[in-house]
Amino acid sequence: MQRDLTKGNLLKNIVVFSLPFLLSYFLQTLYGMADLFIVGQFDGANVISGVAIGSQVMHMITVMLVGVATGGAVMIGRYVGAHDKENISKTIGNTITLFVIIAAILTALLLLLVSPIVTIMSTPKEAIVETSNYLKICFIGIPFIIAYNVISSIFRGMGDSKSPMYFIAVACVVNIALDYYFIGALSMHASGAALATIIAQAFSVIVAIITIATKQLIQLSFSSLKFEKETITSILKIGIPVSLQDGFIQVAFLIITIIANSRGVEISAAVGIVEKIISFLFLVPSTMMQTVSTISSQAIGAGKKALARKTLFTSMAISTSIGLIFAISFQFISEPVIALFTHDAKVVQLATGYMHSYVFDCAIASMHFCFSGFFVASGYSIVSFIHNVASIITLRVPGAYLASIYYPKTLFPMGLAAPAGGVLQLAICIGFYRYLRKKNKI
């Protein structure tokens, strides 16, 4: 089902597209949060740390895969804007073919790398077994994770953000129910959390495929699945820089996690909990980034660059306003929210300090995330890669490392590295935007 987002009221199109997208992101994020929350009710810091570390590794892998899939979504969006049905079908087919190959290779490779990954993460010795068990089960389920995210990207490229929301809603309900059964009733610890997630993802994919087939939501022929070099190249040209950008961001998070892990299991658990909460708060800027990318792609395909620019700034205003509300609110509600995830008073204290400084990045990221979506849609995904890498290398990772050395008893200074990096990213985005506008390229 296609939706032309270049027609009608822009604000309405942004809201109508972004709300189901936001709910989808919320439900998907609820996976990890539910795992961590339920584990926290039945197990100690070692299992919490194992699930937090394992899910962070999985999140990195997932966002990099979604980054590559973004290439397909952007190309589909452009063809939808241009009303080119033949190329829509061809791009969908080649996206599917590409990710079948990726799924097979990635599953085999990751299963061989479980132990090295656990070691690289500087996993506390108390959490090694739980982290390993979590990762092994999740890696087996990689094909289902890829299938869901590819299906979602295809639908969003076509302007349909509702269908992925329904698919993930089903998975979320299944995941939470299985979490309580595996972790609570069967005491399977981190293994139960991983197994619940994978079964839920598989169930979601099955529901999606049945729905697509019965309602014929996507028009696709076998010839569309034929590997075509030009189409694959177009997808990868956009998708790879986005994937690398997202990968570097996650590498930065992993390095910060490693720094935290080396400081003991309590700090490891504290950082893991805050990262989960932050991932929830970042749903708004992430949603707006994808909204800008989708609507701008269609606008550019229809030859409406002015509409693409207007989409950028309208979405940015919405996202930044919400980000500021989060940043201010969590100066007052951090402690009770964090206490939902653990009964360990020391972990709560450490996590609260980390959250108080880190949360300001929500407002700053709301701006540079929207710029990223716009640059990707405009064919300049390399810009997003540049500003993310610059931030990671100069401020985020070095700042977190230095804070851990000079302020070993608190996590507040460590949290400041994120918003500091965000300010640099925003400055780079503004600079590139002004340059490209001056050259009349966007």
Per-domain residue ranges for the chain? Answer: 10-438
Site of tokens 């299938």: 147
Q: In the structure, what pLDDT confidence band is assigned to residue 265 with cuts at 50, 70 and 90?
A: confident
Q: What is the DSSP string of 96-155?
A: HHHHHHHHHHHHHHHHHTHHHHHHHTT--GGGHHHHHHHHHHHHHTHHHHHHHHHHHHHH
Q: Quick one: how far is CA 72 from the chain centroid?
A: 17
Q: Tell me, what amino acid is at 38?
A: I
What letter would DSSP give residue 127?
G
Q: Where are the beta strands (DSSP E) in 54-109?
A: none
Show the tokens assigned to 376. 């990707």
Least confident of 133-137, 222-226, 308-312: 222-226
Q: For 231-248, write each residue's pLDDT tens digit.
A: 888 888 878 887 887 777
Report which of residues 216 and 366 the model is more confident about: 366
Whether the per-residue pLDDT at 139 is higher than 80: the answer is yes
Secondary structure tally for the chain: helices H, strands E: 18, 0
Residue 366 and residue 424 in contact, taking contact as beta carbons nearer than 8 Å:
no
User: Helix or strand or coil: residue 177?
Assistant: helix
Q: Average pLDDT, stretch 303-330?
A: 95
Show the tokens assigned to 255. 């390095």
**Identity of the highest mean pLDDT range in 116-125, 241-250, 308-317:** 308-317
Residue 262 and residue 400 in contact, taking contact as beta carbons nearer than 8 Å:
no
Site of tokens 């810009």: 383
Whether the per-residue pLDDT at 25 is higher than 80: the answer is no
- What's the pTM value of the predicted model, to 2 decimals? 0.77
Residue 292 and residue 300 in contact, taking contact as beta carbons nearer than 8 Å:
no
Kindly give the interhelix angle for 265-281 and 361-377, rounded to the nearest 10 degrees: 60
CA distance 192 to 290: 32
**pLDDT value at position 176?**
87
What letter would DSSP give residue 218?
S
CA distance 186 to 43: 12
**pLDDT value at position 3?**
67
CA distance 284 to 362: 9
Q: Average pLDDT, stretch 209-216?
A: 74
Q: Residue 399: enclosing H or E segment and its boundaries?
A: helix 397-406
**pLDDT value at position 2?**
58
Q: What is the mean pLDDT of the chain?
A: 85
**pLDDT value at position 337?**
93
**pLDDT value at position 368?**
94
Q: In the structure, what pLDDT confidence band is assigned to residue 223 with cuts at 50, 70 and 90?
A: low
CA distance 260 to 400: 9
Q: For 143-166, write each residue's pLDDT tens digit.
A: 888 888 888 877 777 777 777 788
**pLDDT value at position 394?**
94
Whether the per-residue pLDDT at 168 is higher than 90: the answer is no
Residue 323 and residue 239 in contact, taking contact as beta carbons nearer than 8 Å:
no
Whether the per-residue pLDDT at 390 is higher than 90: the answer is yes
Report which of residues 203 and 253 the model is more confident about: 203
Least confident of 170-184, 251-265, 332-346, 425-439: 251-265
Q: Average pLDDT, stretch 184-189?
A: 81
CA distance 224 to 192: 39
Q: What residues contact residue 104 under an 8 Å CB cut-off, 6+ apart?
A: 143
Show the tokens assigned to 347. 């972990």
CA distance 409 to 419: 21
Least confident of 12-21, 77-86, 98-107, 387-396: 77-86
Show the tokens assigned to 238. 């956009």
**pLDDT value at position 184?**
81
Q: What residues contact residue 81 under an 8 Å CB cut-off, 6+ apart?
A: 4, 6, 297, 298, 299, 300, 301, 302, 304
- Based on its alpha-carbon atoms, the radius of gyration of the chain, rounded to whole angstroms, reads 21
**pLDDT value at position 72?**
79
